[in-house]
Structure 1
Amino acid sequence: MEVQLYIYDLSQPSLKQSNAIQGLARQFSRTLTGIHIDAIYHTAVVFNNVEYFFGQGIHKKVPGSTHHGRPMKVVSLGKTDLPLDVVHEYIESLEQIYTPESYDLFLHNCNNFTQDLAMFLVGKSIPDEIRSLPETFLNTPIGQMLRSQIDESMRTMTQAPDAVAGQNASCTQPAGQKSSNAVHKDIQTSSIARGPTHKFATPTIINAQPPTDNPGHVHNITTLSELDSLLSSTSHSCAVVFFTSATCPPCKIVYPTYDDLASEAGTLSGAKLIKIDISACPSAHAVAQRYSIRATPTFITFLRGQKQDEWAGANPAQLRGNVQLLLQMAKPPQHQHSKLRLPTFQRVIETPILYTKTPPLEKLLAKLDKAFSDDKSVQGLVSYIKTRDAKGMTEAALPDLHAFSDHIASQFTSLPGENLFAAIDLVRVATVDPRVASFLTAEHEHRTLSTLFNTVQISQGDFANAPYNIQSVTLQLACNLFSSNIFQEQIFDLRSSSSSSSTSNLKEKIEVIAAQCLLSQHLNSRSMAAALIYNLASWTHNARIYAHNFPPLSIEAPAQEGGAVSDDLAAALLESTSSLATLSPPASPTPSGGGNLKDTLHALLLTLGVLLYSAPAEDMLWDLGPAMELKDVLKELGKREDCKGEKLLKEVGEELLGKGGF
């Protein structure tokens, strides 16, 4: 798929005029500022017959149809092999950064957006003269003097409604999710380096919001095949069949009520309200004969595929009462855990656990080989992190991530073993930005992530005994990948076009890292491993909660368990929890990574509760928990001075394991 850069000159007297007309910037810039400015650039990225640009938010138009008219120049940036759904997910993540309010002509404009998108698609920067123009202008005396006036005046062109006028391009994008709070206690206590924590846009679990319900409608049919098809689709819900006739005046009395009930039932209920005019045609009359209909109006209801009730007569109150009762009966039964006292788990997981602290970067670079850290791509990444932490993402343009990936691929394995953690931590800090995490996720064969994860020798099974700094930064990096919706889509395996063998391998590596660190001698490593499993289990937990309210077939069915963690990983979590009872309280002062037993217990129980809540009877945990005498282990832990007051001992030990088993 070819990617093009459309370049416009905002200083043209009329954007619709020929490019042969010399722009005002070119004519008067030297007189006014003392330097030559060729144009006031506006840029857009075009691919798949869609023009993307930033103004009043991110816009998608048919190329060349906007108020900006014809571009003064079109530059081919190359080709991208990224799937469209991955690209759309990435653009969606940029919407949190490129908001209408964040627009600044000099610091955060259309060219910053095209730079980010171009780097992601093809790994190429837009021309330097375009990127550097704001700085060039601001370095002049008149630039500083007139900055605010020029910014304000140009907004009428870049953000006014007519500035984005044009034909909207058709493209499918996944709906974004919004959230306001999290269900987890802060268990991010294990960052190995102290430093500033910048407030980033809060990422969400991609199913943090329930599926959107839309008003239902009455299905007007005339044939047996249509009726059979609709009834078959309600095997997990209900249906109402209304037999009417054009010559039946009483029928018209209940038409408005029936229409209202169909709308109120919505689409997520799976209910079908069907109307058959038996006088319309012979096929409709045949439907009436099947059910021996002798008068109209007659209503027949079905519950989960079986006939439930039948009555006749035009009584709106009776109709409303009977249909509302049917809809209540069709709702799926509540899971027995909904009746337990489990406030921590009886809610949706809205945000993943991330590790956002930035260590002192100069100290981090000092731990790396000088030849490695002096590379231009590494210095560019460090400069980006500093700008991001100081000024926010809106003023931090992405560095050359492709060059950094090349550097990691060629040089990382040659670093001394004691320096590996510093390079991984640098990537960990960068992936707090969903743009960076999305880039790493979309890389072919996950090149950078595979290099980092393969080098820590997890395949030999000795990662549980690896140095604490290696364990911690690797786990934190894996957690931070959840800042990207692209990563979540792939790791939860929700889209076949985004799924691949490399994705399966990546998920397997992440699970192996978590499983081995669950048995680490470092308590903080166990806490972070639990945090990673918590993120991995979040999608399934949310789907199970929604399944309490909607028939399984009306949402992405939890039975698919696309986001469920493996049995081996769940078993390792149980083993890690059980083995806590055999550990002695850590020495004081605690060694690096020694951690706090109570905090580690909290992290493990939080994740275990997420796995257990609403888990089906056949889930392996219900058999393995009693076999490992986990309930008794938790009871003994509750008696220890260093674990007293941990509320999840009651929720998981007494409620879930004591009353919630099958």
Structure 2
Amino acid sequence: MEIQLYVYDLTNGMARSMSRAYLGIQIDAVYHTALVFNNIEYFFGAGVQTCRPGATHHGRPMEIIPMGTTQLPLDVVLDYLESLKEIYTPESYDLFAHNCNNFTNDFSMFLLGKGIPDHITSLPKRVLDTPFGQMLRPQLDASMRSVTQAPVPSRSMPATHAPVSAAHRASNGVPSPAVNGTSSAHPTPYGKVVAVTSLNALEKHLQNASSTAATIFFTSSTCAPCKLAYPTFDSLAEQHPHALFVKVDINAAHDIASRYQIRATPTFMTFSRGDKRDGWAGADPSLLKSNVESVLRYTFPPHPHTLLAVPTLQYGSLKPVTYGKVPPLDKLIAKLGEVGKDPQLTALKSFVEIRNKDARDATLPDLPAIGSTMQTKALSLPVELRFAAIDLLRCAMIDPRVSGYFAEEQQHPKTIPTLLKHVNELSECPHSLRLVTIYLACNLFTSTLYVKEIAKPDSELATLLGQLITSSLLDVSHPSVRVASAWLAFNLAATNYRVRREEQTEALAEGLQVELAASVIETLGSEDNEEAVKALLLMLGYLVYCAPQDGELLDLCKALDAKAVVSASKGQVKLAKEVQSLL
């Protein structure tokens, strides 16, 4: 996609003519910027906003700058945009510290690996460096609010994008009735009642629904009681979009009434995988709901796990565990020696310091250059000092703008896999380096883009994370390493569980699941750290919860007598009983 930068002057020329008199310096404009691609203009004002290109209340742009081309898919771009919305909220807008140009700069860094022109992003500082700029700051910010945060007129709104499936955004809860641990909400061809007026059309619909459940509502335009069942029937069709719900007005479809020998309305029939299951007459909404749910359970037998009481897993938090605590950065940089003076690491340190005070004030540094520095200078340090550079990156990765960029990093090799591979391949990895690398890996989960990356078939990243976990759980000398790697394992298992529940597939390859489960079960047998036990039990619980009944994972758990191992685990008695019931 071609990316353009639209540049506007919020003062319509007044800044150029009056700035020297009021501020003592010459400025050409008070800039407002937006990025335009795919025939939509994106900008920050009253939150992240969109419009047709050039259709805002700011009028025509004073300049249009071609920024370059991005190869990123649109769904990835829109997912990243969602993460920006967490930082660029309507309440966070500040004309000088957190404005449209900061947003455009961050978005451009992700799309193209570079920011917008410096003379635009540096303007607020130039103004605030003048005595009058500081004095007038509150008045200028307040006076511009009505301009910078105005709503987009309805006539200027762009055509909406198709909904983007975001991996793993829904809150957790009880899975739907399932087949082999997957939700029965298969790709949804229906979702509403289908009205049929001919026998040929009905038979075609039933043939297409031969692998699911179907319910036919025989009604007539003159049937008053039928109207009592309409709302329930429509609601059931919406609740179960994988099943077919057909409404037939027999006054307009005599051939159907004859074929199915309908003598009165309302009459209902249910079918399971093409075969008739039940039939009844009468407008009883409760009976209709009960019989529909019965045929759905018959067609899609629930996974045995859905019948168990495991409230910790059903209602517990699936929020990933991350590590955002910032250490004394001056001491951290000092450990790097001359490498710590590298301008990219200095910029990264400054970003972390500012972000730790207020994320709104933290402008993204040159992330492509930082990635290159991490892969070269950081990894050329003595092995006992490398942890300091990794830890600095870890502090920045808590920000979804940073983690999102590195998830879709365009340079090869990518920074994060390179760092993980480096640690995995060290024959003797220092404790400090291993620990901060695990923390860094946990912080990948701040971006949904990394979750998508992990869920890709044959994901190298998922394999590298699995290797890091299994080797780290063997560290008998350092409980902190085992605790962190257990939480990283939980993050992976929770991700897999979300995908299993919401998309009816597995995010992690079966072989990786088996490898992780074997490592966790082995560690549980001897682990006495209570936090590690909790994380390991949660990880194993989500890994096996509604897992395919005929898969290798549950077979492995039986072979290793995981039930006995979990039962003998120390502490977390209630959680252990829940996980034990799944085995």
Same fold flag (TM > 0.5): yes
For residue 219 of structure 1, the aligned residue among 194, 200, 221 is 194
Per the alignment, in what secondary structure is the counterpart of residue 98 of structure 2?
coil
Conserved in 2, the CA contact under 8 Å of 1:262 and 1:272? no
Q: Which residue of 2 aligns with 1:407?
A: 373
Q: Which residue of 1 aligns with 2:419?
A: 452
For residue 248 of structure 2, the aligned residue among 276, 282, 292 is 276
In 1, Cα distance between the equivalents of 2:275 and 2:227? 27
Q: How does the TM-score come out when normalised to structure 2?
A: 0.88
Describe the shift of the 1:635–1:453 C-alpha distance in structure 2 as closer, same or farther (beyond 3 A).
closer
For residue 93 of structure 2, the aligned residue among 84, 91, 103 is 103
In 1, Cα distance between the equivalents of 2:413 and 2:75? 17
Letter aligned with residue 427 of structure 1:
L
Whether 1:484 and 2:447 are equivalent positions in the alignment is yes
In 2, Cα distance between the equivalents of 1:47 and 1:637? 55
Q: Which residue of 1 aligns with 2:471?
A: 516
In 1, Cα distance between the equivalents of 2:154 and 2:199? 51
Structure 1 segments unaligned to the other structure (5+ residues): 13-22, 184-209, 494-498, 547-554, 581-595, 639-645
**1:161-189: CA deviations, max 9, x gaps?**
25797232433453678789999xxxxxx
Per the alignment, in what secondary structure is the counterpart of residue 418 of structure 1?
coil
Q: Which residue of 2 aligns with 1:299?
A: 268
Letter aligned with residue 325 of structure 1:
S
Describe the shift of the 1:215–1:48 C-alpha distance in structure 2 as closer, same or farther (beyond 3 A).
closer
Structure 2 segments unaligned to the other structure (5+ residues): 175-184
For residue 434 of structure 2, the aligned residue among 471, 493, 506 is 471
Describe the shift of the 1:228–1:180 C-alpha distance in structure 2 as closer, same or farther (beyond 3 A).
closer
For residue 505 of structure 1, the aligned residue among 440, 443, 460 is 460
Describe the shift of the 1:234–1:64 C-alpha distance in structure 2 as closer, same or farther (beyond 3 A).
same
For residue 656 of structure 1, the aligned residue among 556, 579, 582 is 579
In 1, Cα distance between the equivalents of 2:156 and 2:554? 58
Q: Which residue of 1 aligns with 2:178?
A: none
Compute the displacement of 1:36 (Å): 0.7
Whether 1:599 and 2:508 are equivalent positions in the alignment is no
Conserved in 2, the CA contact under 8 Å of 1:578 and 1:628? no
Compute the displacement of 1:216 (Å): 5.4
Per the alignment, in what secondary structure is the counterpart of residue 77 of structure 1?
strand
In 2, Cα distance between the equivalents of 1:65 and 1:454? 48
Describe the shift of the 1:374–1:80 C-alpha distance in structure 2 as closer, same or farther (beyond 3 A).
same
Q: Which residue of 2 aligns with 1:146?
A: 136
Letter aligned with residue 571 of structure 1:
A
Q: Which residue of 2 aligns with 1:239?
A: 214
For residue 324 of structure 2, the aligned residue among 341, 356, 359 is 356
Compute the displacement of 1:354 (Å): 0.4
Q: Which residue of 2 aligns with 1:326?
A: 291
Q: Which residue of 1 aligns with 2:356?
A: 389
Describe the shift of the 1:619–1:575 C-alpha distance in structure 2 as closer, same or farther (beyond 3 A).
farther
Conserved in 1, the CA contact under 8 Å of 2:521 and 2:565? no
Describe the shift of the 1:413–1:139 C-alpha distance in structure 2 as closer, same or farther (beyond 3 A).
closer
Whether 1:310 and 2:266 are equivalent positions in the alignment is no
Q: Which residue of 1 aligns with 2:227?
A: 256
- Mean Cα displacement is larger for which, 156-165 or 395-404? 156-165
Conserved in 1, the CA contact under 8 Å of 2:173 and 2:314? no
Conserved in 2, the CA contact under 8 Å of 1:94 and 1:435? yes
Compute the displacement of 1:623 (Å): 3.8
Letter aligned with residue 517 of structure 2:
A
Q: How does 1:85-104 map to 2 (within 5 A)?
A: 85-104=75-94
Describe the shift of the 1:170–1:30 C-alpha distance in structure 2 as closer, same or farther (beyond 3 A).
same
Conserved in 2, the CA contact under 8 Å of 1:377 and 1:400? yes
Count of paired positions: 566
Conserved in 2, the CA contact under 8 Å of 1:66 and 1:164? no
Q: How does 1:91-170 map to 2 (within 5 A)?
A: 91-161=81-151, 166-170=156-160
Conserved in 1, the CA contact under 8 Å of 2:190 and 2:244? no
Describe the shift of the 1:567–1:515 C-alpha distance in structure 2 as closer, same or farther (beyond 3 A).
same
In 1, Cα distance between the equivalents of 2:293 and 2:364? 52
Per the alignment, in what secondary structure is the counterpart of residue 316 of structure 1?
coil
Compute the displacement of 1:213 (Å): 11
Compute the displacement of 1:93 (Å): 0.5
Per the alignment, in what secondary structure is the counterpart of residue 517 of structure 2?
helix
For residue 546 of structure 2, the aligned residue among 583, 599, 614 is 614
**1:305-343: CA deviations, max 9, x gaps?**
43133345xx433xx233111133124555444555533
Compute the displacement of 1:601 (Å): 2.3
Compute the displacement of 1:542 (Å): 3.6
Whether 1:422 and 2:388 are equivalent positions in the alignment is yes
Letter aligned with residue 483 of structure 1:
T
Letter aligned with residue 398 of structure 2:
V
Conserved in 1, the CA contact under 8 Å of 2:47 and 2:88? yes
Describe the shift of the 1:240–1:612 C-alpha distance in structure 2 as closer, same or farther (beyond 3 A).
closer
In 2, Cα distance between the equivalents of 1:119 and 1:486? 15
Compute the displacement of 1:482 (Å): 0.4
Q: Which residue of 1 aligns with 2:164?
A: 174
For residue 624 of structure 1, the aligned residue among 527, 532, 556 is 556
Letter aligned with residue 484 of structure 2:
M
Whether 1:374 and 2:341 are equivalent positions in the alignment is yes
Q: Which residue of 1 aligns with 2:32?
A: 42
Letter aligned with residue 9 of structure 1:
D
Superposed CA RMSD in Å reads 3.2
Conserved in 1, the CA contact under 8 Å of 2:305 and 2:582? yes
Conserved in 1, the CA contact under 8 Å of 2:454 and 2:507? no
Per the alignment, in what secondary structure is the counterpart of residue 384 of structure 2?
helix
Letter aligned with residue 350 of structure 2:
S
Describe the shift of the 1:415–1:3 C-alpha distance in structure 2 as closer, same or farther (beyond 3 A).
same
Per the alignment, in what secondary structure is the counterpart of residue 113 of structure 1?
helix
In 2, Cα distance between the equivalents of 1:54 and 1:520? 47
In 2, Cα distance between the equivalents of 1:568 and 1:375? 40
In 2, Cα distance between the equivalents of 1:152 and 1:173? 36
Compute the displacement of 1:293 (Å): 3.7
Q: How does 1:558-577 map to 2 (within 5 A)?
A: 558=505, 560=506, 565-577=512-524
In 2, Cα distance between the equivalents of 1:375 and 1:164? 49
Per the alignment, in what secondary structure is the counterpart of residue 32 of structure 2?
strand
In 2, Cα distance between the equivalents of 1:36 and 1:45? 26
